Amino acid sequence: MRHTHGSIEVVCGSMFSGKTDELIRRLVRATIAKQKVQVFKPAIDIRYAVEKVASHAGSTYDAIPVEKAAEIRSRLDADTTVVGIDEAQFFDPEVVTVAQELASRGLRVIVAGLDTDFRGEPFGSMPILMAEAENVAKLHAICMVCGDDASRTQRLVNGKPARYDDPVVIVGASEMYEARCRLHHEVPR
C-alpha cells in the first residue's frame, strides 16, 4: 500500500522517555496495515541487539545497522512504504537529506532520537529534522531526583554529573544516564 504523499514524523525527548517504544508502536501499526516497513539504526548502537531497535523497556523490532545515513538509500527495498530511523542524533548530517528524499518519493519516514545531548543542547541533526517534519512528538520521562516530568538527559560519571567539556557521544543506558527535569539537570563547567 502506497501513501498518497510522503511525510516525516519525529519522536523525540530525553533518554527513558519512550521514544523507541513509540517508534515501534507506529511501525507495528504500519505492519498491521500491510505496509512494507524497513528500519535503520546507527551501527554504533549495539546496546541491546545488533540487528534490532530495542527500547529500555524491552520492546524490539528488526532493523538494519548502517554506518552512514547514505547507506539507507542503497539498502532500501523498492516496495518499502514506511521507513523507521532510530537514534537519528548519531547519524551524520546526510540523514536530513535522506529523510527529505524519501518523503518526497511518497514514503512515510518515522524518525526517533534525542532532541538534546547531555549538556541540554540541540543534538546532531535532530533540530533540522524536527523543523522539516510534518509531525513532532516530544515525549517526557520522569525526573530521577524529584519525580516531575523530565526533558533532559543527565550523564553521570562515577555518580556525579558529567562536565560540559566531556565527549558528547558516549553510547550507554541506565548505568551512565538518567532523566532529569530542568531544575535538577546539572552540567558543571
Q: Which domains does the chain have, with CATH numbers?
A: 7-139 (3.40.50.300)
Spell out the residues 6+ positions from residue 58 whose beta carbon is closer than 8 angstroms to its own: none
pLDDT band at 180 (very low <50, low <70, confident <90, very high): very high
Q: Active-site residue among 22, 87, 94, 132? A: 87
What the block records as the C-alpha cell of 180 is 532529569
pLDDT band at 130 (very low <50, low <70, confident <90, very high): very high
141: β partners: 150
Catalytic residue list contains 87 = yes
Give the Cα separation of 124 and 116 in Å (integer): 8
pLDDT at 86 over 70: yes
For residue 4, the model assigns a pLDDT of 64
For residue 2, the model assigns a pLDDT of 54
Whole-structure pTM value = 0.91
Helix, strand and coil content of the chain, in percent to the nearest 5, comes to 20, 30, 50
Q: What count of Cα atoms within 13 Å lies in the side-chain half-sphere of residue 151?
A: 8
pLDDT band at 172 (very low <50, low <70, confident <90, very high): low
Give the Cα separation of 117 and 152 in Å (integer): 8
Q: Residue length, the chain?
A: 189
Distance between start and end Cα atoms, the chain: 52
For residue 48, the model assigns a pLDDT of 62
Please provide the average confidence, as pLDDT, over all residues in the chain. Answer: 92
C-beta of residue 41 within 8 angstroms of C-beta of residue 53: yes
